């Protein structure tokens, strides 16, 4: 997808600090961490928002959640706890329109809103 920041990260034309990758999913550290550990987990397929996920994406969504569990375990925060957040559209503050899940942890997190 032209002009999508996260598609460029997938292509490698914009650098990222990768945490996990397989054929369907990429995870990398957020450039502006909102917690001690802050990783973004994205599908390699361009999907703009959570509203655009379809039944055809069941497998990639399962891969995203499997990646989240694996990353949390590897970062050592699975037991202490973490949060998985998706922002969808304007009221949530979504800035990058390529589906992504924020994995946040490594410290006591504040309220959701």
| 87 lines the binding site for ligand AMP (CB under 6 A) | yes
Which tokens sit at 65?
Answer: 């959640």
Residue 28 — left, alpha, or beta (φ > 0 → left; ψ -120 to 50 → alpha)? beta
| 32 makes contact with ligand AMP (CB under 6 A) | yes
In angstroms, what is the minimal distance from the CB of 112 to ligand AMP?
14
Radius of gyration of the chain (CA): 14
31 near ligand AMP, judged by CB under 6 A: yes
| Of residues 95 and 112, the one with the C-beta less far from ligand AMP | 95
**Residue 98 burial class via C-beta count within 10 angstroms: exposed 0-12, middle 13-18, buried 19 and up:** buried
Active site positions, annotated: 100
CB of 15 vs ligand AMP, minimal distance in Å? 8
Least Å from the CB of residue 49 to ligand AMP = 10
CA 91 to chain centre: 19
- Pairing of β 25-29 and β 18-21: antiparallel
With CB under 6 A as the contact rule, which of the stretches 59-67, 68-76, 92-100, 104-112 interacts with ligand AMP? 92-100
Binding-site ranges for ligand AMP (CB under 6 A): 5, 14, 16, 30-32, 40, 87, 93-96
């Amino acid at each position: 997808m032209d002009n999508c920041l996260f598609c460029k990260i997938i292509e490698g034309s914009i650098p990222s600090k990768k945490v996990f990758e397989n054929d369907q999913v990429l995870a990398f550290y957020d450039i502006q961490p909102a917690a001690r550990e802050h990783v973004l987990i994205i599908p390699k397929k361009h999907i703009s928002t959570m509203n655009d996920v379809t039944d055809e994406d069941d497998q990639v969504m399962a891969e995203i959640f499997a990646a989240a569990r694996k990353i949390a375990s590897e970062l050592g925060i699975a037991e202490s706890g973490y949060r998985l957040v998706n922002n969808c559209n304007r009221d949530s503050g979504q800035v990058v329109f390529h589906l992504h899940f924020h994995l946040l942890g490594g410290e006591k997190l504040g309220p959701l809103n």
